[in-house]
Amino acid sequence: MSSKGTVVLAYSGGLDTSCILVWLKEQGYDVITYLVGLQCPMSMNLCLKTLSQLTIKLPSRMPLFVWRAGNDQIRFELTCYALYPEVKIIAPWRIPEFYNRFRGRKDLMEYAEKHGIPVPVTPKAPWSMDANLMHISYESGILENPKSHAPSDLYLMTKNPEDAPNTPDELEIEFKKGMCVCVSGLLTLTKDAPLLPPSGKHGIGRIDIVENRFIGMKSRGIYETPGGTILYHAHLDIETFTMDREVRRIKQGLGIKFSELLYNGFWYSPECEFVRHCIDKSQENVEGKVQLSVFKGHVYILGRESPSSLYNEELVSMDVQGDYDPCDASGFIRINAVRLREHHRLQGEAQLKQ
C-alpha cells in the first residue's frame, strides 16, 4: 500500500489515541506521535491550550493532524484554525470507516487486545479518564447511566472524605494581582501543586455533575479538582475583601461568560480576549493572604489580610461610631421603599377593578 502521507497524532497514551495510532497505520499513513509532558502529577495527558500552541510550530510539511472524539474536538480544532488556518485535520471519530468499525470503547478494548496495544483501560474499569494540570475527569462506561453511583476505586486524586484524617490541615495562601504566588511560605509557579497533598488526603474537590455540552447534548462527568477547589475558595474570599462591590458584580458576570467561552473552545476569539483584559483589570488590587483549613471534604476560611482591603473596621464596628451616622439610614430606606410602595399600590388598584 502506498503511503497516504504523514500525519501528526496528538497522542495521550489513552485508549482512543493508542488504537487510532495503529488504525492510521493500517490506513496507509506514516504516523508521528506527538506527546508533551507538562509536569502533570497524574498522567501524560495533554493540556489543550499548550498542546495546540506547540503543535502548530511543527514544520508545514506535516499538515495533517488527528484529534480524539468528544467535546475536546471542538476546542482543539477551533484553536488550531485560529493559530494555523492552513491546517488539515483528520478526526477518526467522524470518519464512517472508523466509527462503523468501533461502536464504542468495548470495540476499542478488543482491538487493543488483538493488536497487543497497551492501554490504561480494562473491562473492570471501563470509564474514560483525562488528567491535566488542574484536575482529572471521568466519564463514559458505567458512568453514562446518571443513576449509577461511581465506584469507590474510581477516584485517583482524592480520598473518600469519610476516610480522611480526623485532624484538619491549615494553610495560608498569598495572592498578588489575583494570582496565587505563595502557599504556606512556599513560592509556587505551578499554581496548585503545593495544595495537592493536603487537599487530596482530605477529599477536597469531588463533584458529580450533568453538564451541557456545546454540541447540544447533556453528559455526566465526575471531576476531582483538589488544589483548584482550595484556590477557588481562597481567591473568592480575598477578592470580596479587596474589590469594589459594583466592580465585583460585573466581574461575576464576566466570569460566567469567560467560563462559557473557554468551555466551548473560543480562547482565541476576540470576545474572549476582551473579557480576559477586563478580568485582568479587575484583579489589580486583589492581593493579600488567606488563612484556611481543609477537613473531610470541606474548605473553611479562617481569616484574611490585605494592604488593599476595602474593609473599614471602624466603619462597621458596633462599639465605635466612626464616620457613619445611623440617622442616614432612615433616608436611604425611605428612598428604596418608594418603588415597593408604588408596586403594591398598583397591585391593589388592579385587584379593586376586578
pLDDT tens per residue, range 222-277: 999 999 999 999 999 999 999 999 999 999 999 999 999 999 999 999 999 999 99
pTM for this structure?
0.82
Distance CA 134, CA 150 (A): 21
Residue 140: all three cell numbers together: 463514559
Helices (H), the chain: 15-26, 48-55, 72-83, 96-99, 105-114, 196-201, 226-242, 245-263, 270-282, 313-316, 328-353
The identity of residue 275, as a single letter, is V
Distance CA 153, CA 73 (A): 28
Distance CA 196, CA 204 (A): 9
Residue 182 gets which letter from DSSP?
Answer: E
The identity of residue 121, as a single letter, is V
Looking at domain 5-125, what is its CATH homologous superfamily?
A: HUPs (3.40.50.620)
- pLDDT(195) > 90: no
Domain ranges of the chain: 5-125, 134-243+285-305, 313-348
Helix (H, G, I), strand (E, B) or coil at 212: strand
Quick: pLDDT tens for 293-329: 999 999 999 999 999 999 988 777 766 666 777 888 8
Q: Which of 69-73, 170-174, 324-328 has the lowest mean pLDDT?
A: 69-73
Tell me what the mean pLDDT of segment 96-123 comes to: 86
Backbone angles phi, psi at 222, to 5 degrees: -115, 135
Question: Nearest Cα to 207, choosing from 221, 196, 218?
Answer: 221
Question: Nearest Cα to 38, choosing from 12, 69, 17, 70?
Answer: 12
Q: Do domains 5-125 and 134-243+285-305 have the same CATH topology?
A: no
Percentage of residues in the chain having pLDDT higher than 90: 50
Residue found under cell 477586563? 278
CB-count burial class (<10 Å; 0-12, 13-18, 19+) for 173 = buried
Residue 157 gets which letter from DSSP?
Answer: S
Residue 84: all three cell numbers together: 494555523
Quick: pLDDT tens for 327-346: 888 999 999 999 999 999 99
Cβ distance 28 to 1 under 8 Å?
Answer: yes
Please indicate whether residue 126 or residue 59 has the higher confidence score (pLDDT).
126
Domain 134-243+285-305 carries which CATH code?
A: 3.90.1260.10
Backbone angles phi, psi at 116, to 5 degrees: 65, 35
Residue 321: all three cell numbers together: 461610631
